[in-house]
Amino acid sequence: MEVNDASSRILAGLLETRTGQQLTISRRWRIETALKALMRERAIGTLDQLIATLVAGREPGLAEEVVDALLNNETYFYRDRAPFDLLLNGAVRRLERTRAAEKRLSIWCAGCSTGQEVYSLAMAFAEDSVRWRGWKIDIIGTDVSRGAIERARTGLYSQFEVQRGLPVLQMIRWFEEEEGQQWRIRPEIRDSVRFQHHSLAEPPPRPGRFDVILCRNVLLYFSNEMRRAVFDKLASASAADAILMLGAGETVIGQTEEFVSDPDHRGLYMRRERSGVVEPRRSSVG
Ligand SMILES: C[S@@+](CC[C@H](N)C(=O)[O-])C[C@H]1O[C@@H](n2cnc3c(N)ncnc32)[C@H](O)[C@@H]1O
């Protein structure tokens, strides 16, 4: 399938308008692979035909399916492991102390893809059930991709997906095998979390004030402007002493003035106001 400049510009424009994600020139090689299955399902023979149908707006839902197919949904359980250990065994203990009276924690996984990140947290809390007895732990996963959110809700993973990042003992404990080498998350974990279709361009989901926010491997392909706006939004949706966890290759440095590195847990971030950092805000960031 030949992807010419005009076609890739139209597709890149559609993706950016709907999600904020940029399909930079260096990532345009993905178009062909990403759209193959969708074109087969819809019996669309060529990319030109797909673009013509899109532009004509003749097929309802096609634009959304194209956007879904172009999004990078790569994820796996306990991705990069170390930040999860830092979060669960370090930073969350601080919140455990400061929330001891109300016994509530609200956690938002923004851009959670097919749910592995959300279930990783839910399993970890369930495994520490004595410590968290009496607490209300609300974990919400959101994503702009309806397809990803639908899959997350099913909690059903292939053999390959369920083994990625998840130790066998956890797999056996929290998943039930179904026909065709599929593994379904157990109902007690499934029912302890919620999923919602949501774009980071929109106001944050309820309750709108979170103690922990994971926004991992999502901001990478936003423009600087969109990334800054999203950081502002995450800050406005955070409790004063909230924790922010980004992807392994991501940072707040040079991206936002709202968050700074958590000095006690390097690799995690916190609101500037609570950090004791006193230098004045700069009016513009790179
Ligand atoms: C590479 S995956 C990362 C998944 C998971 N956070 C992880 O680190 O394993 C990026 C996810 O961000 C989602 N995404 C992209 N743009 C978004 C937006 N504007 N609002 C919400 N989610 C978005 C994509 O659909 C995709 O599922």
Atom of ligand 1 nearest to the CA of 230: 19
Residue with the nearest Cα to atom 27 of ligand 1? 113
111 vs 127: CA distance, rounded Å: 24
The answer to whether 91 and 105 are in contact (CB under 8 A) is no
Domain span including residue 157: 82-275
Who has greater pLDDT, 207 or 160? 160
* Sheet (strand 156-158) strand order: 156-158, 182-185, 175-178
CA 195 to chain centre: 11
How far is it, in rounded angstroms, from Cα 192 to Cα 221? 31
Cα-based angle 228, 232, 234 (whole degrees, multiple of 5) = 115
Q: Ligand 1 pocket, 15 CB below 6 A? A: no
Question: From the CB of residue 161, how many other CB atoms can be counted at a distance below 10 Å?
Answer: 18
> How far from the centroid of its chain's Cα atoms is residue 20's Cα?
14
What is the reported pTM? 0.93
Last residue of a domain, one of 22, 37, 70: 70
Query: Residue 25 has what pLDDT?
Result: 80
Query: pLDDT confidence of 30, banded at 50, 70, 90?
Result: confident
> Does the structure show a pLDDT above 90 at 236?
yes
Quick check: is 283 in a domain? no
pLDDT at 111: 98
Alpha carbons 177 and 171: distance in angstroms, whole number? 10
Asked if residue 73 has its Cβ within 6 Å of ligand 1, the reply is yes
Considering the domain architecture, whether residues 151 and 52 belong to the same structural domain is answered as: no
CB 75 within 8 A of CB 113: yes
Classify residue 215: in a domain, yes or no: yes
Packed helices 146-154 and 62-70: angle between N→C axes, nearest 10 degrees: 70
C-alpha 192 to ligand 1 mean position (Å): 21
Least confident stretch, 16-25, 124-133, 266-275: 266-275
Our mutation pick for probing the ligand 1 site, out of 14, 67, 195, 218, counting the most ligand atoms within 8 A of Cβ, is: 218
44-63: average pLDDT: 91
CA 246–ligand 1 middle distance (angstroms)? 12
Q: Go through 245-266 and write b for each residue having 16 or more CB atoms within 10 A of its CB, e for each that does not.
A: bbbeebebeebbbbbbbbeebe
Domain identity same for 66 and 173: no
What is 164-175 written as a DSSP string?
SS--HHHHHHHE
Same domain, 153 and 271: yes
What is the total count of domains within the chain? Answer: 2
Q: Could you tell which of 16, 22, 30, 71 is best to mutate to test the pocket of ligand 1, judged by most ligand atoms within 8 Å of the CB?
A: 71
List the Cα angle 216/258/245 in 5-degree steps.
25
Neighbouring C-beta atoms of residue 186, cutoff 10 Å = 15
Instruction: Identify the H or E element spanning 104.
Output: strand 104-110
Q: Supply the CATH number for residue 212's domain.
A: 3.40.50.150
- Cα-to-centroid distance, 221 and ligand 1 (Å): 10
How many percent of the chain have pLDDT more than 90? Answer: 85
Q: Which of 21, 43, 70 is the last residue in one of the domains?
A: 70
Inside any domain, residue 280: no
In a domain, 282, yes or no: no
Residue 114 CB–ligand 1 contact under 6 Å: no
Q: Give the pLDDT band (50/70/90) at residue 72.
A: very high
Structure confidence by residue, pLDDT tens digits, 76-123: 999 999 999 999 999 999 999 999 999 999 999 999 999 999 999 999
pLDDT digits (tens, 9 = 90+) for 161-181: 999 999 999 999 999 999 999
Strands 136-143 and 210-215: unpaired
**Domain end position, chosen among 30, 47, 70:** 70
Whether 77 is covered by a domain: the verdict is no
Cis peptide before 204 (omega within 30 of 0): no
